Amino acid sequence: MFYYSTRNKNNAVNFATAALTGLAPDGGLFIPQEIPLYPENVKSSLGTMNFCDITFETIKPYVHTDISSSALYDIISSSFTFNAPLIEVLDRYAIELFHGPTAAFKDFGARFMARAFSYLRRGEDKPLRILVATSGDTGGAVADGFFDVPGIFVTVLYPKGRVSPLQERQIAGLGKNISAIAVEGSFDDCQRLVKAALADEELKKRMALSSANSINISRLIPQAVYYSASAGRAFAGRIDPDGDATPRVVKEQITINKKHPHLPITLCVPSGNFGNLTAGLYAMKMGAPIKRFIAATNINKTFPDYLDSGEYLARISQATLSNAMDVGAPSNFERMSAHFSLEEMRRIISGVYVEDKETKETISRIHEKSGYFLDPHSAVGWKGIDKLREQNKIGSEEPAGVLCTAHPAKFAETVEPLAGMPPIPESLSRAMDRSVNAVTIPAEISALLDEIS
Ligand SMILES: *Cc1c(COP(=O)(O)O)cnc(C)c1O
């Protein structure tokens, strides 16, 4: 498999180069030359294969020229030490993506990426510096994924005062090879600084640099896995028992749901930078039984507006309760539009946006009705399905599922007053005990260069 830049189809590189450089030299994003198809026998058994095997079959065609099958198996089994339960909550499915160490879906991509980097750089003695901008959850997942990985240093940039106390401890509490920079500005500023630093010729001469945002293709590909796994299981009617509103990793128990036999599912993706949705589109194109997608945003609704008007207007991001989605200029838009025309996007994606007061109302209502806790991001996704059902864009009998992107306890300051205190996973209580160790800089490239040079 080759990868080329969204801005230039002539310069093909292999997976190792695409992953380790992050951003293409012309400022574009790497995309695979084609989206591979699942072999028939894999496609027909997505509902019954175990998670590790689905992971292997999904990632292999993207990386097989650079990572041997046995190495890939090792990388996968040490990355995915948790799974993504598909459960039923009221009138829909919830796909719980928050059972990894930092309690958000980004653990899937970040852990795979860290282990893949370590493998691809075997035998290399020059240290690698990874720069990552975060609106909250990426930083923690990447820091955790790379913590203590030899030869790799990670610098996380986050918008000062705009991440939760827990997120800040996940980002700036680890130390060792992980350093944290609080930027006086927004997430978009952080992202801009990272892009500028990655393009800085002087800096590149002095150190090996890479990025770990969802612009990095090695983080995006592993995210296709849980789409295929959950759509496959929903299609086969095999759901996991729920955790009695106290979400937990499920063992091998399953229930057969006869309500929606063999109907492809509509999936609602709470979106910010659109890495998650792009990975979902890959899974769909590979052959996972997905009918269509709902892209749900908070009031940072650049993408829903684009689907409506056909015009892409990036804007300044605004702070909301679902802070990991406070993105006014979604970086993966460039990737999506390199793969799909506006017409095609309109066919397979519906856009919807949700305001903070609706997010809050959803968290209280769903907890009251079912005992299930939604975090503010997942609540945006839940409400997105409600809205499209109201507009009759999805039928009430059609199977629909929401991607639950973070554990409710990760956003306890929002959830607790609305629904009471959700159970706290052990990894989060451990993180809360750490102290914050970050430097603060203004949102200027010179300040960042001073800091990392
Ligand atoms: C990052 C994040 C999102 C947004 O995902 P994108 O891939 O940036 O669209 C949604 N919810 C949570 C909890 C996140 O951490």
Identify any residues that bridge with 176 across adjacent strands, giving them in sequence order. none
**CB distance 137 to ligand 1 below 6 Å:** yes
What is the separation of C-alpha 235 from the centre of its chain, rounded to a whole number of angstroms? 23
Residue 258 pLDDT: 72
**CB distance 273 to ligand 1 below 6 Å:** yes
**CB distance 223 to ligand 1 below 6 Å:** no
Residue nearest to atom 12 of ligand 1 (CA): 405
**CB distance 155 to ligand 1 below 6 Å:** no
Q: What ligand 1 atom has the least distance to the C-alpha of 214?
A: 7
Model pTM?
0.93
**CB distance 104 to ligand 1 below 6 Å:** yes
**CB distance 107 to ligand 1 below 6 Å:** no
Ligand 1 mean position, distance from CA 160 (Å): 18
Are 156 and 134 within 8 A, CB to CB? yes
**CB distance 96 to ligand 1 below 6 Å:** no
Which of 106, 226, 415, when mutated, tests ligand 1's pocket best, judged by the most ligand atoms within 8 Å of its CB?
106
Rounded CA separation 58/309 (Å): 34
183-187-191 Cα angle (round to 5): 90
Rounded CA separation 442/453 (Å): 16
- Full pLDDT tens readout for the chain, 453 residues: 999 999 998 889 999 999 998 888 888 999 999 999 999 999 999 999 999 999 999 999 999 999 999 999 999 999 999 989 999 999 999 999 999 999 999 999 999 999 999 999 998 888 899 999 998 788 999 999 999 888 899 999 999 998 888 999 999 999 999 999 999 998 889 989 998 998 899 988 888 888 887 689 999 999 999 999 999 999 999 988 876 666 666 666 777 777 777 899 999 999 999 999 999 999 999 999 999 999 999 999 999 999 999 999 999 989 899 988 999 999 999 999 999 999 999 999 999 999 999 999 999 999 999 999 999 999 999 999 999 999 988 887 899 999 999 999 999 999 999 999 999 998 899 999 999 999 999 999 999 999 988
Rounded CA separation 222/100 (Å): 14
Ligand 1 mean position, distance from CA 324 (Å): 5
**CB distance 274 to ligand 1 below 6 Å:** yes
Residue 248 pLDDT: 66
Residue nearest to atom 14 of ligand 1 (CA): 324
Candidates 424, 406, 435; CA nearest to 96 is 406
Residue 245 pLDDT: 61
Torsion sign over Cα 120, 284, 51, 270: positive
Burial class (CB in 10 A: 0-12, 13-18, 19+), 392: exposed
**CB distance 106 to ligand 1 below 6 Å:** yes
Are 219 and 112 within 8 A, CB to CB? yes
Q: What ligand 1 atom has the least distance to the C-alpha of 141?
A: 15
Ligand 1 mean position, distance from CA 107 (Å): 11
Ligand 1 mean position, distance from CA 257 (Å): 29
Residue 417 pLDDT: 98
